[in-house]
Amino acid sequence: NAGVTQTPKFQVLKTGQSMTLQCAQDMNHNSMYWYRQDPGMGLRLIYYSASEGTTDKGEVPNGYNVSRLNKREFSLRLESAAPSQTSVYFCASSSNANTGELFFGEGSRLTVL
């Protein structure tokens, strides 16, 4: 039972490079999310997708794009990485039930030099 799987787990980029973080869930959940976590800042929502085919901006969307490829997969793309995007990125999913429960992946640790 994999749950939410993120790749890669670690990545080092140079300023201006691009990359895509991949996320897949096997729980048949409708909603998926991308958060970033910085020391002392908690988790901040970048983008979310309430259902397949829809995406919406969260609190800190600038510098990111997302794709909800299908119900299982939700990718996050950095087109031109900046040092301010050094962070731990978490993908999460939820069933849309009224539980307030998100299932998180193990995180992707990104460093931009």
Partner 1 sequence: GQSLEQPSEVTAVEGAIVQINCTYQTSGFYGLSWYQQHDGGAPTFLSYNALDGLEETGRFSSFLSRSDSYGYLLLQELQMKDSASYFCAARGSTLGRLYFGRGTQLTVWP
Structure tokens at 34: 């991308």
Backbone φ/ψ region at 95: left (φ over 0), alpha (ψ -120 to 50), beta: alpha
User: Do residues 49 and 74 touch, judged by C-beta distance below 8 A?
Assistant: yes
Backbone φ/ψ region at 53: left (φ over 0), alpha (ψ -120 to 50), beta: left
Stretch that binds partner 1, among 13-21, 45-53, 63-71, 75-83 (CB under 8 A): 45-53
Q: Which residue type, as a one-letter code, is found at position 104?
A: F
Looking at beta carbons only, is 19 or 45 nearer to partner 1?
45
Tell me the closest approach of the beta carbon of residue 12 to partner 1, in angstroms: 18
Tell me the closest approach of the beta carbon of residue 18 to partner 1, in angstroms: 25
* 100 forms part of the interface with partner 1 (CB under 8 A): yes
Tell me the closest approach of the beta carbon of residue 95 to partner 1, in angstroms: 8
Under the rule (CB under 8 A), what is the footprint of partner 1? 31, 33, 35, 40-45, 48, 50, 56, 58-59, 90, 94, 96, 98-107
